[in-house]
Amino acid sequence: MIQIFENTQQLTEAAAALFIDTAKEAIAKNNKFTVALTGGSSPIALHNLLASADYQQMIDWKKVYVFWGDERWVPFEDDRSNTKMAFETLLNHVPIPEENIYNMYSETASPEAYATQYEADIKKVVGEDGVFDLILLGMGDDGHTASLFPHTAILAEDKKWVDAYYLEPQSMYRITLTAPLINKAKNIAVLTFGDKKTDALYEVLEGERNPQEYPSQLLAPSHGKLVFMTDQAAAKRLKKSY
Ligand SMILES: O=C(O)[C@H](O)[C@@H](O)[C@H](O)[C@H](O)COP(=O)(O)O
């Protein structure tokens, strides 16, 4: 599904409503809400809104379990860290127990070893089926999502739920949920807006099928719901009516 909003304020409010509604439903049903946060800049407005007094009181944060969709393998204090961004914009401002937060970076383990540990944590907290209640994603201007970058071996990964690899163009390790795990989720929301995403969004949604070039085309939930939450600027090349 594609939702095209007039502006990013409306998109942010809709994303917050999705987060809150999904959380309430999951907590009512399973007494917990499992969510994977996205990195990048797209979720910052959403985080700030969820952290605001009016919004944060709508969620029972003691029952929220936070993972990440991907992380740059850099120290927590590094400005490129998705963990740092999430704490600064959301997690430091809501009453979520520290033990409910599963950082996707370790100061001691290797990226590969930690990926194995992270998968075990997902099995323990999310469940043996690995079905997250909500996975938030962004999309790069090259069509990548999480750390599923074009023409990387991880795009073909069909068994592991989490993996780490050295991303040459960025000269850094990345750790990421894989497409098979992401596609298990009950809800996947891709927050992608702004002029820079116009061409990638068109190619992902209406271009030739070419997931090696546009990895966001791998998003195809087996049982859950997928929504691209976008704005007029990013959607301006889309021809179909949504
Ligand atoms: O670690 C990351 O970089 C992200 O998880 C990545 O997948 C991000 O969502 C896109 O690159 C979009 O980034 P922006 O939101 O900054 O445009």
Averaged confidence pLDDT in the chain? 98
Distance between CA atoms of 221 and 236, rounded to whole angstroms? 25
Residue 38 burial class via C-beta count within 10 angstroms: exposed 0-12, middle 13-18, buried 19 and up:
buried
- pLDDT score recorded for residue 241: 87
Residues contacting residue 186 through CB under 8 Å, at least 6 positions apart = 22, 131, 132, 133, 134, 223, 224, 225
Buried b (16+ CB within 10 A) or exposed e, 143-168: bbbbbbbbebebbebeeebbbbbebe
- pLDDT score recorded for residue 118: 98
pLDDT digits (tens, 9 = 90+) for 18-52: 999 999 999 999 999 999 999 999 999 999 999 99
Interaxial angle between packed helices 82-89 and 44-51, expressed in degrees from 0 to 180 and rounded to the nearest 10? 30
Q: Which of the listed residues 81, 139, 141, 198 should we mutate to test ligand 1's pocket, taking the one with most ligand atoms within 8 A of CB?
A: 139
Q: Which of the listed residues 8, 11, 37, 42 should we mutate to test ligand 1's pocket, taking the one with most ligand atoms within 8 A of CB?
A: 42
Distance between CA atoms of 182 and 226, rounded to whole angstroms? 10
- pLDDT score recorded for residue 242: 86
- pLDDT score recorded for residue 128: 98
Structure-token pair, residue 104: 């996707």
Pocket of ligand 1 (CB under 6 A): 38-42, 69-70, 72, 82, 138-140, 144-146
- pLDDT score recorded for residue 205: 98
Distance between CA atoms of 104 and 107, rounded to whole angstroms? 10
DSSP-derived pairing of the beta strands 134-138 and 33-37: parallel
ipTM over 0.90? The verdict is yes
Distance between CA atoms of 187 and 199, rounded to whole angstroms? 25
Atom of ligand 1 nearest to the CA of 196: 17
Q: Distance from the CA of 40 to the center of ligand 1, in angstroms?
A: 4
Within its chain, how far is the Cα of 98 from the centroid?
20
DSSP three-state, residue 145: strand
Distance between CA atoms of 162 and 121, rounded to whole angstroms? 11
Secondary structure element (H or E) that encloses residue 113, with its range: helix 111-125
pLDDT digits (tens, 9 = 90+) for 107-155: 999 999 999 999 999 999 999 999 999 999 999 999 999 999 999 999 9
Q: Distance from the CA of 191 to the center of ligand 1, in angstroms?
A: 10
Structure-token pair, residue 232: 């007029």
Secondary structure element (H or E) that encloses residue 119, with its range: helix 111-125
Structure-token pair, residue 95: 């009453």
pLDDT digits (tens, 9 = 90+) for 157-200: 999 999 999 999 999 999 999 999 999 999 999 999 999 999 99
Work out the end-to-end distance of the chain between its first and last CA atoms, rounded to an integer number of angstroms. 8
